[in-house]
Amino acid sequence: MIDLRSDTVTKPSKEMRLAMANAEVGDDVFSEDVTVKKLEEEVAALVGKEAALFAPSGCMANQLGLKVHTKEGDEVIVEADCHIFNYETTAASFLSRIQLHTVIAKDKGRLTVAEIERAVREPAYYMPVTRLVAIENTHNRAGGTVYTVERIKELSDFAHSKGIAMHLDGARLWNACAYTGATPEEYGRHFDSVSVCFSKGLGAPVGSAICGTKEFIKDAHRMRKIWGGGMRQAGIIAAGAIYALNNNRARLGEDHEKVRAFAEGILDGTKNVEIDLDGVQTNIVLLTPKNGSNVGASIAKLKENGVLLSPGAHGSLRAVTHLDVTLDECKKAAQVVATVFNN
């Protein structure tokens, strides 16, 4: 079975498992786990922040960011197809009692200053306060599209001029860096908080981090405890994240090459699937059946033929490449997809 449902399906390599097995651990709730501390220091330095906090999931990392930046009744501007709005189970309203103001970006999921400016609330007692702009880079539901550092700077300069904070959902920031050549710090300097994930393209089994100032992380640490995110000998999983950071970031471009070959192979084999090749920038591709085929039925048929895909946005199917699939497997999967949609 060729599994292209997500880059979260990867399994730890033997080397990563060895690093985890040999990890020095302590009680992280007592701030005594040296491996967790090492991970937090490394990732904070990578994105150019004073401190970081290890979290069990990207959802928690993002929600910690939203919680610390806002007060009850505030509003956060997000792109309409973003992860925070679509895949975090109304957490913002449930945990922080805030409202998300969704804006449809016309540029493949990437917001512009003009689009954000129109969403900023005028000061009035009967309106929420626009407290935060949250940006997702890369943008999952747009097909892994990338914000450039230049665009991010424009958004950040505008938001900060209005007294609005900036949060980066950087679950796949590593992929954005691989695509643009920019460093995590070059992106991170324009945000007040940054979340990153270790269990997607980097291949670690568990974990994300939220990064910011020391004071910000102090508040986030308290909220992580309240939400049940305090972990004890968490160095075992933090060691997997450290291994991933140090060994798997440099190879992310290979995943981008795989997804390009997969997309081009499908288009070479069938005219019944639409793919926006200009939007294929990182390790995600969206396939839209031209004949209006049911997504669920198409996924089931592909599974019968040995290829696993997942539902994408707006009637599409999604494929995501990762370190556990080879280039040849991606080319084979493209042939299977073309054959299925030709029948």
Q: Looking at residues 243-253, what average pLDDT do you find?
A: 97
User: Is 293 a residue whose pLDDT tops 90?
Assistant: no
Is 154 among the domain residues? yes
Residues 176 and 225 in one domain: yes
Verdict on whether the full-model pTM lies above 0.75: yes
Residues 188 and 284 in one domain: no
Angle CA(70)–CA(73)–CA(75) in degrees, nearest 5?
65
Query: Of the candidates 229, 247, 265, which is a domain's last residue?
Result: 247
- CATH number assigned to the domain comprising residue 147: 3.40.640.10
Residues 210 and 276 in one domain: no
Is 4 among the domain residues? no
Dist CA 188 CA 211 (whole Å): 9
Residues 280 and 292 in one domain: yes
Is 21 among the domain residues? yes
User: Is 292 a residue whose pLDDT tops 90?
Assistant: no
- Count other C-beta atoms under 10 Å from residue 275's C-beta: 19
User: Is 4 a residue whose pLDDT tops 90?
Assistant: yes
Q: Looking at residues 178-188, what average pLDDT do you find?
A: 98
Q: How many domains does the chain have?
A: 2
Residues 240 and 258 in one domain: no
Q: Looking at residues 296-314, what average pLDDT do you find?
A: 96
Percent share of the chain, pLDDT over 90: 99
Q: Which residue has the tokens 């747009």?
A: 142
User: Is 3 a residue whose pLDDT tops 90?
Assistant: yes
The domain containing residue 126 runs over which residues? 14-247
Q: Looking at residues 207-231, what average pLDDT do you find?
A: 97
DSSP reduced 3-state for 139 = strand
Dist CA 255 CA 201 (whole Å): 8
- CATH number assigned to the domain comprising residue 289: 3.90.1150.10
Split at pLDDT 50, 70, 90, the class of 291 is: confident
Q: What is the pLDDT of residue 343?
A: 87
Contact 212, 248 (CB under 8 A): no
Q: What is the pLDDT of residue 254?
A: 98
Dist CA 233 CA 159 (whole Å): 39
Residues 82 and 201 in one domain: yes
